[in-house]
Amino acid sequence: MKPLKKEDISQEVFDLYDYYAHNKIDRRQFVEKLSIYAVGGVTVSSLLSFISPDYINTAMVKPNDERLKSEYIEYESPKGGGTIKGLLSKPDEFKGKLPGIVVVHENRGLNPYIEDVGRRAALEGFITLAPDALSPSGGYPGNDDDGRAMQRQRDRNEMLEDFIAAYDYLSNHKDCNGKIGVVGFCFGGWISNMMAVRIPTLGAAVPFYGGQPNTEETAKIKAPLMLQFAELDTRVNAGWPDYETALKANNVEYTAHFYPDVNHGFHNNTTPRYDEKAATLAWERTMAFFKEKLK
């Protein structure tokens, strides 16, 4: 059987994966529904393998890249108890102090994709911190299914406090200039929006396909925003009209980009939802925005 390609997969399969990845259905239901699309010699196992993340062959910046100094650090968890582990990355050779970026994971802990994003941002001239909100439960378990299950056991507002503490950690770091932004994906997009609500001194926020604050929360935002949306992501996009109305009413500086014909998760290059053209453009815009607002 020839290898599957993205164009061989119907939109319904991507929508089904989105429901599964966001805990709308469990794995048994996902596999059961996936079988409907196993036709013409395509098996359920081949579909499942194709749509699942590939963390082995997709890293854009290797963990041992000589241009970077990356190390795991720990800081206190304000609400969750114990410490939070995070990947701290910065250019190996730099002069003076660097602006900082908190990199926030999806709903499954600090997996290799998010670590890679932290390293990518560091190569652009930032000191980055990618925390693992699963640390109080033992940390990212090595696979996304168990990671999602573990993250469901934590209160999302407690996790928000952990990411706010990451901002504080960078603020006090000897190599940081005190100007700090946040970028996050999915759950991390919601965290990015909420950090803008909670931190008056936040330098900039870039939520990728993230849930939105309510009207009262939006009124507290002081940071400039760059909002990245996927056109086919009807679940997240449903909240955009009310959010935009509140942003305008409160004179919040924002730019919103909608990328045509792409799915939720289009920036994540480990799954077939990835769209190289949209992801590259969104990342270029993100880095340019941080360089403008934080330097």
Measured CA to CA, the distance from residue 196 to residue 175 in angstroms comes to: 23
The residues near 143 (Cβ < 8 Å, ≥ 6 apart) are none
Q: In whole angstroms, what is the distance from residue 253 CA to residue 205 CA?
A: 11
Give strand ranges (E) for 2-155: 68-76, 83-91, 98-104, 127-132
Give the separation between CA 274 and CA 294, rounded to whole angstroms.
Answer: 28
Cut 0.75: pTM above it: yes
Residue bearing tokens 């990618």: 130
Q: Compute the average pLDDT of residues 18-46.
A: 89
Q: Distance between the two ends of the chain, CA-based, in angstroms?
A: 52
- List the one residue out of 89, 99, 73 whose CA is nearest residue 165: 73
Q: Residue 227: pLDDT above 90?
A: yes
In CATH terms, the superfamily for domain 68-294 is Alpha/Beta hydrolase fold, catalytic domain (3.40.50.1820)
Q: Stretch 31-55: mean pLDDT, rounded?
A: 89
pLDDT, greater one: 2 or 121 = 121
**Contact, 232 vs 262, CB < 8 A?**
yes
**Which sign does the torsion angle of CA 260, 265, 267, 272 carry?**
negative
pLDDT in tens, 49-102: 899 999 999 999 999 999 999 999 999 999 767 999 999 999 998 878 999 999
Given this model, what pLDDT does residue 94 score? 83
Mean pLDDT of 172-193: 98
Domain ranges of the chain: 6-51, 68-294
Q: What pLDDT score does 1 carry?
A: 53
Name the residue among 90, 103, 106 with its Cα closest to residue 130.
103
CB burial of 246-279 (b: ≥16 within 10 Å; e: otherwise) equals bbeeeebebeeeebeebbbbbbbbbbbbbbeebb
Confidence of residue 149 (pLDDT cuts 50, 70, 90): very high
Residue 258, strand partner residues: 229
Q: What does the pLDDT read at residue 40?
A: 76
